[in-house]
Structure 1
Amino acid sequence: MKGPVLELNNGVGMPALGLGVYRSGPEGTVAAVKAALADGYRMIDTAAAYMNEAEVGQGIRESDVPRADIFVQTKLWMSDYGRDRTLHAFDRSMRKLGLEVLDLYLLHWPVPKRFDLTVESWQAVIGLMQEGRVRAIGICNSAPDDLRRLIDATGVAPAVNQVELHPHFAQPALQKANRDLGIVTQAWSPIGGVNRYWRADAARNDPLSDQVITALATKHGKTPAQIVLRWQIQLGHSVIPKSVNPGRIHENGDIFDFALSAEDMAAINSLDRGERGGPDPAEVTPEAFAISIED
């Protein structure tokens, strides 16, 4: 296995490094999953809304790695919030993945404007975990207030909060809140890719072209992406970089043979601009992202 294993708040171990498959097409997803597993990755992140759960399952079955050694996580889409819809959506995801037990089930967005449905879904996934159908549960894109509201409503804290996090949007207050609540921070777009595919001013906002990052890459004989991923790991985060290129998949995982100094870490921390690249979770609703998941 590449990298450390993080202990979640219910004692389940989760690999710190995983493969993300957001925006990966069907054929590319199968090949990427097989390449990542062959390269030593042991965690795969997908979602119902990515429309590639079946291909993730196929890649796992076609690999030489036993299912028991692979940590698989997927996400519930907002259009399926509410108790009964959540349970139906979970069964659909498991059927597409071809799995009996899921390692981590995540609510994709907090939807604070309809938080009553978010709480209903959270109660439903708590039940799935109690039944042994899910080993751990979490949420994505949640602010500290969302997390506390969820915990206050149900008494159960998420094991993971998967959020946009990279050097230009480091969210230090959210990092601290997650730590204080015993929640693992998992970074989506961990090297700032969201600034390349979501924003028009990509060149100015790409952390990989930042002079501090490129200088550290030269210093350590690594690529800028490896520097940023190493920074994430040393912060104690889980990371799920996306790629369908076997060479890039290997590169993203080749970050455990060096360490950043305290000064290196501080230099990267100083790059935080507080500028979000992706959507503002406070404004995300099912209507704003009208995705329907087919059975």
Structure 2
Amino acid sequence: MYLMTARHRIPLSDGNSIPIIGLGTFSDTYTKSSETCLASVKRAIDLGYRHFDGASLYRNEHEVGQAIREKIEEGKLKREDIFYCGKLWATCFLPELVRPTLEKTLQHLKMDYVDLYIIEMPMGLKPGKEFYPRDKNGKWLYHKADLCAIWEALEACKDAGLVKSLGVSNFNRRQLESILNKPGLKYKPVSNQVECHPYFTQPKLLKYCQQHDIVIVAYSPLGTSRNPQWVNLSSPPLLEDAYLNSVAKKYNKTAAQIALRFNIQRGVVVIPKSFNFERMKENFQIFDFSLTEEEMANIEALNKNIRYVDMFMWTDHPDYPFFDEY
């Protein structure tokens, strides 16, 4: 795949396109950076990032929007140069909540539309103001969502011009098929955002999605923080891998750059999260070299088929997606 720093978009099935590298804006308090989201997004734009992955759940969409507006006002770019992905959280899984939730995101961003809006996960939680609803005993409060009805509400948002493209996240094949096979489907998902990196390469899901013109967007493409509250620590830290580091030495790169290059050469979009300026800069410098076919195969062989982000707290949810093979 021929990609350059100045031109690194790939096509989506609906005629739009997505930058193959973006900046994740999730903020984990366990590894909280001294840099603010606002300052980091502005710096990222200066470095060349045009794709920003956000969510109402992250509670910082207003900062992302402000950073983008300030850079537009400086004349650095135009709104159409930016690709913003927002997410419909699990407590908003009622058709009548879809448009108001998206409109709230647009209010926070102070934008007229988002470029991509995705269902954040296929598991519904009790609708309401609490992002993580539990009962008085601490038990999770679940909601049986009608994903097809939610999808129809999203299609109406696209028709209204509030969003350019529609996608999903953390969907397995069966859950994707429930949308793809929906009677009267107007717009199919253009993307599926899932965990994907050299220790969890997702070969079967990737092949299935590519067969259906669905782009895989890789979250945690460099592994994750080692936060025991939500991370499966049974896999070792990805960036300490000996082979990745040996390849990095050959190209005078870092293990992180090798891991990111591996995915983009497979046509997988990467959204590494960092608010550290040097790491943001490093993560973007992946367009001046290519891995050989042998190196790609060797990195593929590192697959341990173990998720860092297995959402273990919700394994008893009837729509938990990760019991299926893919």
Q: When the two structures are superposed, what TM-score results if normalisation uses the length of structure 1?
A: 0.90
Q: Please name the residue that 2:173 is paired with.
A: 144
Instruction: Select which of 261, 273, 296 maps to 1:242.
Output: 273
Partners of 2:91 and 2:49 in 1: CA distance: 31
**Offset of residue 185 of structure 1:** 0.4
What is the number of equivalent residue pairs in this alignment?
287
**Offset of residue 92 of structure 1:** 0.6
Partners of 2:316 and 2:40 in 1: CA distance: 29
Partners of 2:232 and 2:176 in 1: CA distance: 31
Partners of 1:46 and 1:158 in 2: CA distance: 18
SS in structure 1 at match of 2:182: helix
Partners of 1:115 and 1:162 in 2: CA distance: 21
2:56 alignment partner AA: A
User: 1:257 and 1:188, CA in 2 relative to 1: closer, same or farther beyond 3 A?
Assistant: same
**Offset of residue 86 of structure 1:** 1.0
Q: In the alignment, is residue 80 of structure 1 matched against residue 92 of structure 2?
A: yes
Partners of 1:284 and 1:45 in 2: CA distance: 28
**Offset of residue 199 of structure 1:** 3.7
Q: Is the contact between residue 274 and residue 280 of structure 2 (CA under 8 Å) also seen in structure 1? A: yes
User: 1:2 and 1:239, CA in 2 relative to 1: closer, same or farther beyond 3 A?
Assistant: farther
Q: Please name the residue that 2:63 is paired with.
A: 55
Q: In the alignment, is residue 6 of structure 1 matched against residue 10 of structure 2?
A: yes
**Offset of residue 149 of structure 1:** 1.0
SS in structure 2 at match of 1:65: coil
After TM superposition, list the pairs within 5 Å mapping 1:75-114 onto structure 2.
75-111=87-123
SS in structure 1 at match of 2:177: helix
After TM superposition, list the pairs within 5 Å mapping 1:88-237 onto structure 2.
88-111=100-123, 116-154=145-183, 155=185, 156-193=187-224, 198-199=230-231, 201=233, 205-237=236-268
Instruction: Select which of 57, 67, 71 maps to 2:83.
Output: 71
After TM superposition, list the pairs within 5 Å mapping 1:216-295 onto structure 2.
216-280=247-311, 283=315
Partners of 1:83 and 1:206 in 2: CA distance: 40
Partners of 1:194 and 1:2 in 2: CA distance: 30
C-alpha distance after superposition, 1:106-141 (max 9, x if no partner): 110012886643222211111111222211000001
Partners of 1:30 and 1:284 in 2: CA distance: 37
Q: Please name the residue that 2:134 is paired with.
A: none
Q: Is the contact between residue 195 and residue 278 of structure 1 (CA under 8 Å) also seen in structure 2? A: no
> Structure 2: which 5+ residue stretches go unaligned?
125-141, 321-326
Q: Is the contact between residue 233 and residue 308 of structure 2 (CA under 8 Å) also seen in structure 1? A: no
Please say which structure displays the higher CA radius of gyration: 2
**Offset of residue 152 of structure 1:** 1.3
191-200 vs 267-276, which moves further: 191-200
Instruction: Select which of 13, 16, 23 maps to 1:19.
Output: 23
1:152 alignment partner AA: N
2:168 alignment partner AA: I
CA RMSD of aligned residues (A): 2.4
2:100 alignment partner AA: H
Q: Please name the residue that 1:40 is paired with.
A: 48
2:285 alignment partner AA: D
Partners of 1:206 and 1:196 in 2: CA distance: 12
Between Structure 1 and Structure 2, the one with more helix by share is 1
Q: Percent identity?
A: 35
User: 1:97 and 1:2, CA in 2 relative to 1: closer, same or farther beyond 3 A?
Assistant: same
Q: Is the contact between residue 232 and residue 308 of structure 2 (CA under 8 Å) also seen in structure 1? A: no
